[in-house]
A and B are shown apart, each in its own frame.
Chain A
Amino acid sequence: MDVMPKWAEVILVPLISLILAAILSALVILAIGEDPVAAVNLMVTGALGSTYGWGYTLYYATNFMFTGLAVSVAFHAGLFNIGGEGQAMLGGLGVALVLLFIPWPHWTVALLAATAGAAVFGALWAAIPAYLQAKRGSHIVITTIMFNFIAAAVLNYMLVNQLRPAGSMDPATARFAETVHLPNLHELLAPFGIAFSKAAPANVSLLIALIACVLVWLLIWRTPLGLEIRSYGKSQRAARYAGIGAVRITMIAMLISGALAGMMAINNVMGEAERLVLNAVEGAGFIGIAVALMGRSHPFGVFLAAILFGFLYQGGAELALWTTIPRELIVVIQALVILFTGALDNMVRMPLERIFLAVRRGGAA
């Protein structure tokens, strides 16, 4: 029997963890001599007070939806994929190769091809750690971390030695063609008479991210494969007894995970920068861990958590601009969210369970 009702499990526990993380973050802001209330006000107006702010919030949220889904799918299979960062870097390489060397007639076909390119590159980068975990038993956490470092070296080599246009000092590719420019929210919403900021980078990939959320939900909860993935994640021995192959599930889950992380590149590389730069991912792969934990690995939870982190990211940028609080505050908040929703989960859960038990006993008596 579950001690807690479902709503407490799904809403109350993450909410209390979030509040704890927020209180500690406020203390950190106080400790460096800034006013937490003013900081929150600044973050809210900066991230949600204008369509420009919203455009950035949703742009970041798009990144985090992809990486959050990536971590979630791996979590369902009982695997911890910390390699989202590297997989997203390689996804960017895939997008750049697809867009630089093929003349696309229209952005729609280009977007499809770029999505495929990003997914394939991301999946391939996840495939090696997945294979080593499945076949050789090397710990996927450490191999995926190593692959983040190796990805950075690969990207550095490709940009500095191969893809950099002649005469350019900047380690970045040439700009993509004008025809593959993705419509941003301003261009998408204008026909409906909705005015949206022209300068904000949120673009059509947001819709792809939403579709990905729905598809992942379908995959995990409405297909036989999803059932196999979840069974394997819950109990490897039981799954093996039920005839579910460990190697197969590990490979499939990690390939999907890597593909999702790689697909982030259609947003940041194709949608925003419109060329591949060295630090394109900017830690979004790691934020995916916090997003997945916060969203309890459910696509809808990931969607909400991604928006929350999009807000924090854009708000944090505003803070760095107007106050002495550096951008690293967001890394601290991210760490606290991971700590409270992930590792210290029981600290929140145990007292709550006790309360619910007491209430139930009181009700029965």
Chain B
Amino acid sequence: MSTKHSKYAEDYLKDDPVVDRHDKTFFGVREKRDRMAHDLPEWEQLREAADNIKRHTVTHLADYLEQFEANATKNGIHVHWAKDADEYNDIVLRILQKHNVKKVVKSKSMLTEECHLNENLEKNGVEVIETDLGERILQMMQLAPSHIVMPALHVHREQIGDCFREKIPGTTESNDPTYLTHVARLHLRQQFMEAGAGMTGANFGIASKGEVVVCTNEGNADMSTSMPKLHIVSMGIEKLIPDYSAMAVFQRLLARSGTGQETTVYTSHFRGPRPGGEMHIVLVDNGRSDILGNQEHWQTLKCMRCGACMNTCPVYRRSSGYSYTYFIPGPIGVNLGMLRDSNHYYDNVSACTLCCSCDNVCPVRVDLSKQIYRWRQELDELGHADALKKFMSKRMAWMFNHTGVYNGALSMAKMMNWMPRWILNSKMNPWAYGHEMMKFPKKSFHKIWKKMKDEK
């Protein structure tokens, strides 16, 4: 009866204070986002524009990619194309080996998670240092991110302090966030100085300029690319936008939606290599061109990974990122997981109450909950429909089609109210699982309706 998501969530929900904190933390971000949206009279105009820009770009992507490549090449950037994760990992490894790089500093990139870049590089003798503070904490603790923008908020300061004391010599007993951030600052500074290459993702690629834009609050993408001479950008092909007038729209939406800030601290435009350095951009498909051909789900390609849909999702907030089986959790992750491999990630489709809040906060207006609804309709075809629910649906369909049976059942239903609670709320009755069994009304809606009609 249960999906993996509901089982993991059930486990997570056993610890009330932890759940409450997680819920409040992310709802706090959602509230900050709301304040940002309400502060701008043109907010809905921006969302509409962002939606339309992405629709246009994604459906003309081949043309824009060619334009982007031509301009980037003119700027002295090496452009590579990878059809899948394996090819992408090979390209990156080859570039690093050519430059004899043993250590890489890296800013956050969901694409590298998607392609398992770090494992692949480590296997080939390249040390990878995550430089976003949250990511670095998780890397040292050997944990996976539980959110795409705020990856380590589920970890508590005591755990971080213990980890630093074990891994960074000289860390004292304090678990104060300011102190721990300072410890990480000094530790990471050393890494920036020593690394042979800096890797970043790309929040946006600008076709008309042949440049990439990276947005961070910590400045770690900038530190990663200011000291090493080699810069490698990993970019999903859907990250492209046409020009600066589009960039203005996205710059205004990204941080407001993601973290409730008017802007990220750094919005950095990379249009070529450092003096005496080298810059590479690897354009990665890895299933994206297939998604474009999926009429029901191609709009997930509009996503800019701001995380707003997770922060607002009541299921995400009360079940946390680890309850999902795909590495991207929340509404967008449910959809992306299904597009990656529906036979492997179908468990997450249950992680939705269809409240549709995600559709309303998404800055590019991806119809997230409607897509989840459509996946549920497809579960039976995929062979993953829940057997009990399927049986019950069939019986109910039969009952609704036979008026006599339906009316009979309806008049019997209120007799359930007389049954002892311990029977009603027992495991035999899945309707009462997790909450009290409802009381059946004395008069059915049909009877009330008829009576009102007669009285008229």
Q: Are both chains from one complex?
A: no
